[in-house]
Structure 1
Amino acid sequence: MRKINVGAFVSLDGVMQAPGGPLEDPIGGFKFGGWVAPLFDEKGGAAVGEMFAKPFDLLLGRKTYDIFAAHWPYVEKDDPIGPLFDRINKYVATRNPAFRATWQNSHVLGADAIAAVRALKNEDGPDLLTQGSTEFLKALFENDLVDEINVFTFPVILGKGKRLFGDTAFPRALTLVDSRTSDTGVVISKYARAGEVTTGSFEFDTPTDAELKRRRNLT
């Protein structure tokens, strides 16, 4: 069985839109495209390299697929990511039935992308790694399909934009597997599934009169 692993560059307030450049995704008037570049350093690059070190296939939303297909096949051949992305399978979620994926080794998931992802998870093969793909990620979280989250949290607040998590994220406890900080202050964290959310309480065993009044006021 294959795992679905998320790879995401996010701001401190959770925005992940257009990390790579000003024209990458200006939808919604987003004006900070390229916010990752000034803070990306050698340690950040090494962490990305570790994420790509094990065999994987890419699992992408259509907009991110288009960004990648217009860039990675054309990079200099001494950049190892381009040939790697060319070689592996790329699975694309799209609502457009007329969409045709022209990048080599690309496969459209079809009308029911979630059912197709579930089928892929049940197959033998390398893990599935998402990059970007905010809209598609919402569906993966909502359907409880994500196994591991690799978050690169950059020390910047962007205010608005497409976010990693929305209201549809499936409640889930996580375990911090690894964490480190780059020289530019990027916190690089890996989380794995840890079952259901558990809760506790710091309240008194016997609530005070003031607490009882507060609870009544809530209703």
Structure 2
Amino acid sequence: MRRVIGAAFVSLDGVMQAPGGPEEDRTGGFDLGGWLFSYFDEAGGRRIDALFSQPFDLLLGRRTYDIFAAYWPFVEGEDAGLGARFDRARKYVLTRGAQPLSWANSHRLTGLDGLAEVKREEGPDLIIQGSSTLYPQLLAAGLIDRLILMTFPVVLGGGKRLFGEGAPPRSMRMVEHEVTPRGVVIATYEPDGQIAPGDFGAATTPSPAERERRARVAAGTW
């Protein structure tokens, strides 16, 4: 069985929109594209190289597919090698649309059942790039096996977030981490079941002020 691995660049406030350049994705008026540029360093580059050094397939949302298909088949220079690997990889696009998928080795998936079937097959890991709309539904369906986050020391204030509306509550377990010289936190997580809430004050009798505060919360006047 294959693994589905999400690999994402995110800001401190969880935004993952257009990390690579100003014209990558201006949806919603986002004008801070290219925000990771000043913080990317050799340590981050090594982590990306390691991620794509083994055989892999890509799992993409439709908009990220469009961005990649317009860039990677035509890239030159030092990124040409990665572009060639992306060309050879199978691209699974999770979309309900019927637009052509003209990039070599592209395959349409119209729903999570199709993805689950692909996941059960023999083959390399499926790596998610970009594709913010995928994460809530994949997490809810239990289809994410590993999450690699590169968190950059910036606050963007708005934009598409990694786990946006519709993301279910889940616990994650960190299995690996490092901090780069430029302050990028690279952490790898795996699903760890449901959240188990606790209460540090469970053994303490609430004060009159606390009881009054809770009453205001319940009444909607707090």
TM-score computed with the length of structure 1 as normaliser: 0.92
Residues 136 and 168 in structure 2, CA contact (< 8 A), matched pair in contact too? no
Match of residue 197 from structure 2: 199
Structure 2 stretches lacking a partner, 5+ long: none
Give the corresponding residue for 2:151. Answer: 153
Q: How does 1:68-217 map to 2 (within 5 A)?
A: 68-76=68-76, 78-79=78-79, 80-97=81-98, 99-110=99-110, 113-210=111-208, 211-217=210-216
* Alpha-carbon distance in structure 1 between the residues aligned to 2:113 and 2:29: 33
Give the secondary structure class of the aligned counterpart of 1:134.
coil
Once the two structures are TM-superposed, the CA of residue 77 in structure 1 deviates from its matched residue by 6.2
Q: Which amino acid aligns with 2:201?
A: E
**Superposed CA offset, 1:68-121 (max 9, x none):** 111111122653211111111100122322x111111111113xx211111111
* Inter-partner Cα distance in structure 1 for 2:124 and 2:138: 18
Note if contact 1:6-1:146 (Cα within 8 Å) is conserved in structure 2: yes
Partner of 1:8: 8
Write the mapping of 1:36-47 to structure 2, written as runs, cut at 5 A: 36-47=36-47
The sequence identity of aligned pairs, in percent, is: 49
Query: Equivalents in 1 of 2:179, 2:127: separation in Å?
Result: 22
| CA distance, structure 1, for counterparts of residue 40 and residue 159 of structure 2 | 20
Paired amino acid for 2:109 = L
Q: SS at the partner of 2:6?
A: strand
SS at match of 1:58: strand
Q: TM-score, normalised by structure 2?
A: 0.91
Structure 1: unaligned runs, 5 residues or longer: none
Q: Is the 8 A contact 1:57 1:88 kept in 2?
A: yes
Per-residue CA deviations over 1:20-60 (Å, capped at 9, x if unaligned) read 11111011110101111121111110011122233221000
Shift of the 193–142 alpha-carbon distance from structure 1 to 2, 3 Å rule, reads closer
Q: Which residue matches 2:30? A: 30
Q: Decide whether the 8 Å contact of 1:77 with 1:83 is kept in 2.
A: no
* Residues 6, 131 of structure 1: 8 Å contact kept: yes
> Could you tell me which amino acid in structure 2 is paired with residue 189 of structure 1?
A
How many residue pairs align between the two structures? 216
CA distance in 1, matches of 2:53, 2:94: 24
Q: Deviations over 1:117-160 (max 9, x none)?
A: 11111212111110001122232223232111100100111101
**Letter of the 1:139 counterpart:** Q
